[in-house]
Amino acid sequence: MDGLNSAKRSVTILGATGSVGKSTLDLIGRNRDRFDVLALTAHSDVRGLAGAAMRADAALAVIGDERLLPQLKDALSGSGIEAAAGEAAIVEAAEEGADWTMAAIVGCAGLRPVMAALRRGGTVALANKEALVSAGEIMTRAAEESGATLLPVDSEHNAIFQCFDRARPGSVRRITLTASGGPFRDRSREEMNGVTPAEAVAHPNWAMGAKISVDSATLMNKGLELIEAYHLFPLGPEAFDVVVHPQSVIHSMVEYVDGSVLAQLGSPDMRIPIAYTLAYPERMETPCERLDLVRIGSLDFREPDLERFPALGLARAALREGGAKPAILNAANEVAVASFLDSGVAFLDIAEIARETLACYDPPAPASIDEVLEVDQEARRRARDITRTYLN
């Protein structure tokens, strides 16, 4: 980090005990002289949150589940770290005014905290894709109004950000996001019919949480990323493509009008894009494995199969329709994935539940976070009703 300004950056991590939060803390721990941790939050992992807060010497630790506040206070006893609990406290942590905020709360639970961080200004590193999927126009408008710098953390969007000419967006013709294809990329629909949650979360390349691993297995993750990319980069919906790239070495590509294609390559380690956002506009050292193309030998590409992986097609349709459709898709998918992970519905039912929810619910486009959350709750209610019809 020799190129960085010597002044310390204050940091808040929303979702500190998830995979992205842990990777962020790992990088900060290797550069303690460069960062002051203001606040860490988690939903219910008291032990993980308290341990992370003490290791990072955080000023504040916030647990989402208010019932767990006494446990958090006990775990932090004698440390001098303030403890708080509840959704409002997480929003207040996001408003603390950190120079840099990692938004890594999974799902729509992250919407209000992300909005609070964007309105406060500073730099917001966005790992919560649901924020832009469900409320993209609202979020980007808030960033513009406050002057916040919005940096994408997803490896694909981070790669695009590194290759995209933001001063001359009209020179870009197409953006291609790469997808590993997940653990079932070579299986037929018949072979996927009986897959278990354990099989679905065993991603071949990336270490991720259970929900996002299932999304990767259905390719819903890539569909949600298409919607997210649309809100991050000023191109029309049809300018975004997906290609299956099993090695996960090329993270995304930007094609220019002259035929040039710029790509960002790297080992499949989330600490690389996180480090880019932590040090932006400079770069910092990471402990990540260096890319060895000779050892890899070859890079493969194929078209995604929308018959075997219909979730990607559903996301494309939701992007084209706009309005509330992306929020409905996201909510229905979360309900279906939760049921699958709980050994409820079958793997192939996930996309079908999302499809049926989209077909039966068509509200007006939401104009505020409150309206987004209303759409989200109603979509979840309908998706749960539909999910019950798939249970034995």
| Better pLDDT: 7 or 105 | 105
Spatial distance between the Cα atoms of 344 and 324, rounded to a whole number of angstroms: 27
Domain with CATH 3.40.50.720 in the chain: 9-153
Q: Is the pLDDT of residue 212 over 90?
A: no
Q: In the numeric block, which tokens belong to residue 373?
A: 């959350």
Report how far apart, in Å, the C-alpha atoms of 385 and of each of 30, 315, 317 are: 48, 21, 23
Question: Which residues partner with 124 through β-bridges?
Answer: 101, 150
Q: Is the pLDDT of residue 102 over 90?
A: yes
The reported pLDDT for the residue numbered 202 is 79
Q: How many Cα atoms occupy the beta-carbon half-sphere of 320 within 13 Å?
A: 8
| Better pLDDT: 89 or 391 | 89
Q: Is the pLDDT of residue 5 over 60?
A: no
**Share above pLDDT 90 across residues of the chain, in percent, rounded to a whole number:** 85
E strand spans, 44-167: 60-63, 82-85, 100-103, 123-126, 149-152
- Helix 325-341 and helix 310-321, axial crossing angle in degrees, nearest 10: 150
The reported pLDDT for the residue numbered 2 is 44
Spatial distance between the Cα atoms of 362 and 164, rounded to a whole number of angstroms: 34
Q: Of 248, 27, 273, 247, which Cα lies nearest the Cα of 162?
A: 273
Domain with CATH 1.10.1740.10 in the chain: 322-392
The reported pLDDT for the residue numbered 208 is 65
- Assess contact for 207 and 325: CB atoms under 8 A: no
Spatial distance between the Cα atoms of 94 and 148, rounded to a whole number of angstroms: 13
- Assess contact for 292 and 307: CB atoms under 8 A: no
Maximal CA-CA distance, the chain: 62
The reported pLDDT for the residue numbered 1 is 43
- Assess contact for 263 and 198: CB atoms under 8 A: no
The reported pLDDT for the residue numbered 210 is 80
- Assess contact for 52 and 25: CB atoms under 8 A: yes
The reported pLDDT for the residue numbered 221 is 92
Tokens 């639970």, located at residue: 109
Tokens 């941790």, located at residue: 37
Residues 23-30, mean pLDDT to the nearest whole number: 96
CATH node for 9-153: 3.40.50.720
**Tens-place pLDDT, residues 121-167:** 999 999 988 889 999 999 999 999 999 999 999 999 999 999 999 99
Question: Using only C-alpha atoms, what is the Rg of the chain?
Answer: 20
Residues 100-118, mean pLDDT to the nearest whole number: 92
Tokens 């440390």, located at residue: 79
Spatial distance between the Cα atoms of 268 and 206, rounded to a whole number of angstroms: 6
Q: Is the pLDDT of residue 188 over 60?
A: yes
Tokens 């990323």, located at residue: 225
Give me the DSSP letters along 181-241. --TTTT--HHHHTT--HHHHT--SS----HHHHHHHHHTHHHHHHHHHHHHHS-S-GGGEE
- CA dihedral (323, 324, 329, 334) positive or negative: positive
The reported pLDDT for the residue numbered 88 is 96
The reported pLDDT for the residue numbered 3 is 45
CATH node for 322-392: 1.10.1740.10
Q: Is the pLDDT of residue 367 over 60?
A: yes
Residues 87-91, mean pLDDT to the nearest whole number: 96
Give me the DSSP letters along 270-318. THHHHHHHHHTTS-----PPPP-HHHH-----B---TTT-HHHHHHHHH
Spatial distance between the Cα atoms of 392 and 384, rounded to a whole number of angstroms: 14
**Tens-place pLDDT, residues 254-313:** 999 999 999 999 988 999 999 999 999 999 999 999 999 999 999 999 999 999 999 999
**Tens-place pLDDT, residues 45-85:** 999 999 999 999 999 999 999 999 999 999 999 999 999 99
Phi, psi of 28 (to 5 degrees): -65, -40
Spatial distance between the Cα atoms of 237 and 231, rounded to a whole number of angstroms: 10
